[in-house]
Structure 1
Amino acid sequence: MFFVTPVFAQTKTSSTPQAIYKVDTDKKLIALTFDISWGNKVPEPALAVLKKENVKKATFFLSGPWTLRHPQIAKQIKNMGYEIGNHGNLHKDFSDYSDSWIREQVSLSEKAIQQVTGVKTTLIRTPNGDFNTRVIHCLNNMGYKVIQWNTDSLDWKNPGTQNIVNRVVKRAVPGDIVLMHASDSSKQIVEALPQIISQLRAQGYKFVTVSELISGAEVSSTVR
């Protein structure tokens, strides 16, 4: 058994609603996360890489409209055993809208994901990673943990495969949550992913889901 402490946003008081960026642990555990909100060209090749590299634990944040447009891929993610989180409905900054709008949007995406995959989501990554204290409070009241990231691959900028690999591998720390995308806008992630996986493994990292990372649950030494 290992124990971890979630690392939250910088806040003035501990009672302020917070988002989770990483966990404090000396164990070399890391959560690879993928946002998907558009396209069908990248998700399946990315999944094929994870299968080929025997990565059995990862977390995918799916938007509601994408899930409804590509149900077979969403089901494939679920059937491969990966964790599924919510990435909202319309890809707009939550902080620009009212609580009632946020609740409606999250409920729509939650319903879509559950309809297609059978998963009732409890983790959310807001569109564009946008939030403020009010947004987090609203999402917490809906039963969601707000998940950010500590290491951003910047893969959506398509800066070059090696730049993506280097950015992740050099910045990764124990307890990290890594942001990547499996949307079609991320044109280089499929090529970068095998190198990211192999180099992190070479450093001794084991791959876990976000929920496993933040729960402090027991993880077998065989986890990859």
Structure 2
Amino acid sequence: MNTFLGFGKQYVERHFNKTGQRVYLHLRRTRRPKEEDTSAGTGDPPRKKPTRLAIGVEGGFDLTEDKFEFDEDVKIVILPDYLEIARDGLGGLPDIVRDRVTSAVEALLSADSASRKQEVQAWDGEVRQVSKHAFNLKQLDNPARIPPCGWKCSKCDMRENLWLNLTDGSILCGRRYFDGSGGNNHAVEHYRETGYPLAVKLGTITPDG
């Protein structure tokens, strides 16, 4: 409960021996199917079968379909003797200890719930990895000022197919397509001149990614 690391029982004693941390939160969740209301006229419509290995997107698994309920068993375990104290038994501890342990338990449980919900809010089945360019992204101390609207290429005044360089803040048009449409290649030329590799297309950035 001090390091916020999680372990299975086969590893928790090893962590205790290495760190001397004695107090652990033991959380066990038992899943059971939710009882459905079979009353006439109140049943849910048939669920669509997923067609993609995805979560929270079209064709994937719908997070709003709560098919299961969970029974939680929360205990405090003190090593090395594996002394167990049920959550509702914390009242028997001294006041100062009880208050600190109770606050820590509540914080851990609420953080777990929030992080789980955020992690599975939407997933389209793609495994995402941080590129070497994003991991070591260089950003200039005094980049160009970016207006909230009215964007245009800084070299040709084009107002469509614009890309924002994440290193220096330059707004430049995209590559020219084989049929002559698209941009004038100014974003690509800027990369060749500066070596700044990361850019995002304007109008495609949202608070969710």
TM-score range, shorter chain: under 0.3
TM-score for both structures, normalised by structure 1 = 0.21
TM-score (norm 2): 0.22
- Bigger relative contact order (CA 8 A; separation at least 6): 1
